[in-house]
Chains A and B, each alone.
Chain A
Amino acid sequence: DIQMTQSPSTLSASVGDRVTITCRASQTISTWLAWYQQKPGKAPKLLIYDASNLESGVPSRFSGSGSGREFTLTISSLQPDDFATYYCQQYNSYWAFGQGTKVEIK
């Protein structure tokens, strides 16, 4: 099974900050990776697929990069609506999520 590890688990940031979340796979997954945003009591929302492709309707301040085993999600200028938990997910072999990164207000 492929394990996904995100860092950090919690991130404190201010509006306007540039934020980067890292996701590492236990084995190579090419670019078969997605990022999701989840707010409390709500379903996850797809942000990025195939490591770097922005899902339709997602603001351009979100971007993804990486391949192989290491990936990043970057929010270029954090907005009030972005405080949430973010999950990476591999779909190279079945599907598996990282443990999540909570982005909280500093």
Chain B
Amino acid sequence: QVQLVESGGGVVQPGRSLRLSCAASGFTFSSYAMHWVRQAPGEGLEWVALISYDGNNKYYADSVKGQFTISRDNSKNTVYLQMNSLRTEDTAVYYCARERTLHYYGSQSSGMDVWGQGTTVTVS
């Protein structure tokens, strides 16, 4: 079945780095753009970043621009989020999610239709 599984979360000190992974299965990964979305404890959802299906287009929230880097390896069906210079306010559950629009590259989005279970990042 269609599935996304995140990994790589943990407890990290402020200023350190962490790389999250999201492994996809059950669909043609290379045809879909992928998002990262985070949720701080007790808070709402915050979009973090998107990478197009081919990896050529990347978009970031202002809150993480220059600090986080999204990438993907279509041969491994995996999307990554490299998080540098972590701050306490980056503490959250991080979800990867599939962009609903097939072959999205910066055209019209249509939401996020498949989500992983999330991985927890605690900066302390």
Report which A residues bind B (CB closer than 8 A). 1, 32, 34, 36, 38, 42-46, 49-50, 55, 87, 89, 91, 94-100
Q: Given B35, B45, B50, which contacts A87 in the complex, CB threshold below 8 Å?
A: B45
CB distance from B63 to the nearest CB of A (A): 11
- Which A residues are in CB contact (< 8 Å) with B100? 46, 49
Residue of B nearest to A33 (CB): B111
Whether, in the assembled complex, B89 has its beta carbon less than 8 Å from a beta carbon of chain A, the answer is: no
Report which B residues bind A (CB closer than 8 A). 35, 37, 44-47, 50, 59, 61-62, 95, 97, 100, 108-113, 115-118
Main secondary structure on A side of the interface with B: loop
Given A1-B62, A34-B111, A43-B117, verify A98-B47 contact (CB < 8 Å): no
CB-based contact A91/B111 at 8 Å: yes
CB-based contact A95/B47 at 8 Å: yes
Given A43-B116, A43-B118, verify A94-B44 contact (CB < 8 Å): no
